[in-house]
Amino acid sequence: MIIHPTFNLKKMSEIKEIEKAVKNLTKEDLSKFREWFASFDAEEWDRQFEFDVNNGKLDKLAAKALAEHDKGKTGEL
């Protein structure tokens, strides 16, 4: 079996431990965890998006969108 170089048994073990802990939460605690995780995930997404914008990763997409708009190929949402 070939194992990818980034494969990390310790990380997999940690993930399995987290999965087990989540499965054992009460309904109330699971609800609180979902709320926390949704907020955490949204903040991470925002940070990544801001990083990508600041590093020009979306420049080509923005230019293409503006060009389409200038050609009248867009409409109101």
Contact 30, 22 (CB under 8 A): yes
| The two structure tokens encoding residue 25 | 């939460």
Rounded CA separation 67/70 (Å): 5
| pLDDT, tens digit, 9 for 90 and up, residues 5-53 | 566 778 888 999 999 999 999 999 999 999 999 999 999 999 999 999 9
pTM over 0.85: no
Question: Where are the domains positioned within the chain?
Answer: 26-70
Q: What is the mean pLDDT of residues 49-66?
A: 96
What was the pLDDT predicted at 7? 64
Q: Is the confidence at residue 3, as pLDDT, over 70? A: no
